[in-house]
A and B are shown apart, each in its own frame.
Chain A
Amino acid sequence: MSEAAKNTLLFAGVGGLILLTGFTQSWNSAILILNMGLISAIMAIGVNLQWGFAGLFNVGVMGFVALGGLAVVLVSTPTTAGAWSAGGYGIVLALLLGAATVVAAVLVAQKMPKGRVRTFSIIGILIAGFFIFRAVFDPNVAVVEAINPAVEGNLGGLNLPVLFAWPAGGLLAAGAAWLIGKTALGLRSDYLAIATLGIAEIVIAIMKNEDWLARGVKNVYGIPRPAPVVGYEIDLQKDPGFVARAEWLGLDPVTASTLSVKLGYSVLFLVVLLILLWMAQMALKSPWGRMMRAIRDNEVAAEAMGKDVTRRHLQIFVLGSAICGIAGAMMTTLDGQLTPSAYQPLRFTFLVWVMVIVGGSGNNFGAVLGAFLIWFLWVQVEPMGLWMMNLITSGLPDGSALKAHLIESAAHMRLFTMGLILLIVLRFSPRGLIPEK
C-alpha cells in the first residue's frame, strides 16, 4: 500500500470513529469531539514545530494556551465602566515601572564591571524597584477590584469582535515565549523543560490571583461569540426559516440549533487549522525548514556551517508557542468563558505531547492525526472504562465495597490509558503513526 493511501486510510479511520460516536451516542458529542480535536490539532502543530522541527522540549504548553484564553477576555469583553480612569492607568504605570526596574537591573548587569559594586547595585535596584512597584500597584488594584465585584471587578477588555482575539492570543503567547526563550534557550534541553514547566505554572498562578486582569478564580462568563458564523441558539429557534430547514432534516428545532452553533465553530476552526497546516507544510519544505532539521540533527555541524543556532531556536520557539496561544484563544471562545482553575498540566501540556508523539513527530499530518485520535480516546476512554468495569464486576455481589470502588475509579482510567499508549508507541513505533519523511 502506498504511503498516501495508508495515511488517507488512517485519517478516514479516525473520522469513522467520530462518525460512530454520532450514530451510537449523539451528534452533539460527536461534533464536540470534532471541535476540540480541531483545536488540539492546532496545539499539536505548534508543539510539533518546536519538537519535531527543532528538537526543543517545551512542557509549558498549558501556559501559552492559557495566555491565549486571557487574550480573549482582554480583547473581546466589554470595558468595565470607570475602571480605567479609577485605577487602570495606575496599574499600567506600575507594570511599566516594574519592567523598567528589570531592564535597569539587566543593563547594570551587562554594562558594569564584575565585582561587589555591581552585585550590590543590582540587588539595590531590584529591591527599590519592587517597593516602588508595590506602592503604585496595590492601591490601584484595590480600586479596580472594588468596582462591582460580583460581575466585574476587572479592567475588562477592548470590546472588539472575538475573532480579533485569536491573533492577539498568538501575540501574547509569542511575547511570553520570547521572554522565556531569551533566558532559557541556549541552556541544556532539560533546563528548557523545567523552565517552561515553571512558566506555565506561573501564568496560571497570575491568572488565578490577579483579579483586576480577568477576575481570577471568579471566572469570566459570557464571552461573545463570533456571531455572524456561529449565532445563538435562541435566535435560531425564533427564526422561522431555520425551523423549517430543521424540520426538513427531521430534527427538532432545539437540537438543530445546538448542532448548527457547534458546526459553525467547526467551520471556523477548520479554516484556521487548514491555514496553519498549510503554513507549517510550507515551512517544513522550505530551506528554512531544512535548516531547522539540520540544526536538530546536529547542532555542532549546523553551527560550523554558520547557522546561528540560538537565534533559530528562539525563532521557532516563539512561532510554536504563538500557535498554541491561538489554539488557546479559540478554545476559550468555544467555551464562552475563562476558567483559570480548569488549566491542568496533564490535560493541556502532557496530553498534547502524547498527541504529537503518537501521531508522528516531525510530520505535520501526523501531529494532526494524533490530535484527533488521542482526543477521541481521551473523551471515550471514560465510558469505555466504565463499561469494562461493569463487565468485570458483574460477578461481584451488588453493594460490595470493592465493586463500588472499582466502578467509581473507572473515571481515572484515561490517564493510565494515555500513559500506556505513549509508552507502547515509543517502544514499538517510536516515529509515530505517520513518520517523518
Chain B
Amino acid sequence: MDLLNALVALANFVLVPAIAYGSQLALGALGVTLIYGILRFSNFAHGDTMAFGAMIAVLVTWGLQAAGVGIGPLPTALLALPFAILGCVVLVLITDRVVYRFYREQKAKPVILVIVSMGVMFIMNGLVRFVIGPDDQRFSDGARFLISARDFKAMTGLSEGLAIKTSQAITVVMAVVAVALLFWFLNKTRTGKSMRAYSDNEDLALLSGINPERVVMITWIIVAALATTAGVLYGLDKSFKPFVYFQLLLPIFASAIVGGLGNPLGAIAGGFIIAFSEVTITYAWKKVLTYAAPESLAPSSLVQFLSTDYKFAVSFVILLIVLLFKPTGLFKGKAV
C-alpha cells in the first residue's frame, strides 16, 4: 500500500506536471528547430511569437465568453485557437515579408539574422504589452479537473490523491495531435517532402525545382501554428503573462539544442528531457521517500535538490553537458 501511495504521489507531483510541461516545451522547440532547419538561424523572437498568438487567443476567448459561447467542460480558449493561429500566421508572414526576406536575398550570415530576430523580439514584445499590458491574465474556464485529488482518493481508497487538471490533459492530447499532423505533413505530403529536402541541402533542392519562397512561407505558417498552440496551452496550464513567455526562450532553446537543432524528433525528446529534469530536480522528494523507504530511513529534510527558482539552471546545465559531449545534440542535428 505504501509503495502504491509513493507511486501515486510521484505521478501527482512529478509525472503529470512534467508530461504537460514537456509537451508545451516540445511544441515550442519544434518551432525553433523548424526555423533553424529551413531558415538557418536561431529565432530569438520565438517566445514573443508564442506570447502574441496566446494574446489573440485570450482576447478572442474574452469575446466568446462575453457572447456566452462555450464548449461545456472544455476551456473556451480551444474555440479561440483557430483565430489565434490565423492572427499569428498573418503577423509572422508580414514580418517575413517586411524584415527577413531582405536578408535572405542578401544571403546574410546567420548571426545577422539572429540580431534581426532580436529587433523583431522587441517589436513583438512591445506590441503584446501595448495591446494587453504586462500583467497576468486569466482566460481558462470550463471544468478545472479531469480527476480531482478527492475523487481519486474516494475511488481508490489510497491516502494520496492524483489530480489531473483539464488543461494538462488537453495539453497532452493537443500536443500528440499537433505532432502527429506535423510528422504526417513532413513525411507524406509533397510540400512536406520538399521542406525536408530544402532543409537537407538547399542547393540540390533549388536545382530540383523547389520554390524556396513557398517553402519558407509554409514553414512560417507551421511555426506560427505550433507557437500559438504552445502559447495557449502554456497559458491555460499556468497563466498568461508576456514576460514569462520571453523567459521560456531558454528552456525551449535548450530542448531544441539538446535534441539536435533542425531535427523535429529531437526537439520533442529534448522538450521532455528538459521538463523531466527541471521537475525532478526541483521537487521536494520527502513525501515519496517517506512512503517508499522503510520507517527507520524516513528522511527528515525536504530532500529537494535545488530550490524551484533554479529551474533555469537545470535546463542550462543539461544544455552545457550535451554541448560538451555531443555538440550536435542527442539526435543528429545540423551544425552550420
Q: Residues of B with Cβ closer than 8 Å to A?
A: 41-42, 99, 102, 110-112, 114-116, 118-127, 129-131, 133-134, 246-247, 249-250, 253-254, 257, 301, 305, 307, 309-310, 312-313, 315-316, 319-320, 323-324, 327, 335-336
24 A-B pairs (CB sep. < 8 Å): A57-B111, A138-B301, A183-B324, A190-B110, A190-B114, A193-B42, A195-B319, A195-B323, A197-B250, A201-B247, A201-B312, A205-B312, A209-B310, A412-B129, A414-B126, A415-B126, A416-B123, A416-B126, A416-B130, A419-B119, A419-B124, A426-B112, A426-B115, A427-B102
Q: In the bound complex, what is the Cα–Cα distance between A37 and B301 (angstroms)?
A: 49
The B interface is mostly helix, strand or loop, or mixed, namely helix
* Interface: A312 (CB within 8 A): no
The number of chain A residues with a CB under 8 A from chain B is 44
B307 surroundings in chain A (CB, below 8 A): 209
Q: In the bound complex, what is the Cα–Cα distance between A184 and B324 (angstroms)?
A: 8
**Min CB–CB distance A184 → chain B (angstroms):** 7
Are B118's CB and A350's CB within 8 A?
yes
A304 surroundings in chain B (CB, below 8 A): none
Contact with B along A349-385 (1 / 0, CB 8 A): 0100110010000000000000000000000000000
Are A346's CB and B250's CB within 8 A?
no
Taking a contact as CB atoms closer than 8 A, the residue among A188, A202, A423 that contacts B312 in the complex is A202
A417 surroundings in chain B (CB, below 8 A): 126
Taking a contact as CB atoms closer than 8 A, the residue among B42, B102, B122, B323 that contacts A187 in the complex is B323
B114 surroundings in chain A (CB, below 8 A): 57, 190, 193
Q: Residues of A with Cβ closer than 8 Å to B?
A: 55, 57, 130, 138, 183-184, 187-191, 193-195, 197-199, 201-202, 205, 208-209, 345-346, 350, 353-354, 357, 408-409, 412-420, 422-423, 426-427, 430
Are A198's CB and B123's CB within 8 A?
no
B112 surroundings in chain A (CB, below 8 A): 426, 430
B335 surroundings in chain A (CB, below 8 A): 188
B122 surroundings in chain A (CB, below 8 A): 346, 350, 354, 415-416, 418-420, 422
Q: In the bound complex, what is the Cα–Cα distance between A413 and B130 (angstroms)?
A: 7
B301 surroundings in chain A (CB, below 8 A): 138
**Min CB–CB distance A168 → chain B (angstroms):** 24
Are B323's CB and A184's CB within 8 A?
yes
Are A408's CB and B133's CB within 8 A?
yes
**Min CB–CB distance B232 → chain A (angstroms):** 22
Are B316's CB and A198's CB within 8 A?
yes
Interface centre among B111, B122, B312 (most CB of A within 10 A): B122
A188 surroundings in chain B (CB, below 8 A): 327, 335-336
A183 surroundings in chain B (CB, below 8 A): 320, 323-324
Q: In the bound complex, what is the Cα–Cα distance between A430 and B113 (angstroms)?
A: 12
Interface centre among B247, B254, B313 (most CB of A within 10 A): B313
Are B131's CB and A409's CB within 8 A?
yes
Are B247's CB and A416's CB within 8 A?
no
Q: In the bound complex, what is the Cα–Cα distance between A418 and B120 (angstroms)?
A: 10
B257 surroundings in chain A (CB, below 8 A): 191, 194
Shortest Cβ distance from B314 into A: residue: A202
Q: In the bound complex, what is the Cα–Cα distance between A151 and B327 (angstroms)?
A: 47
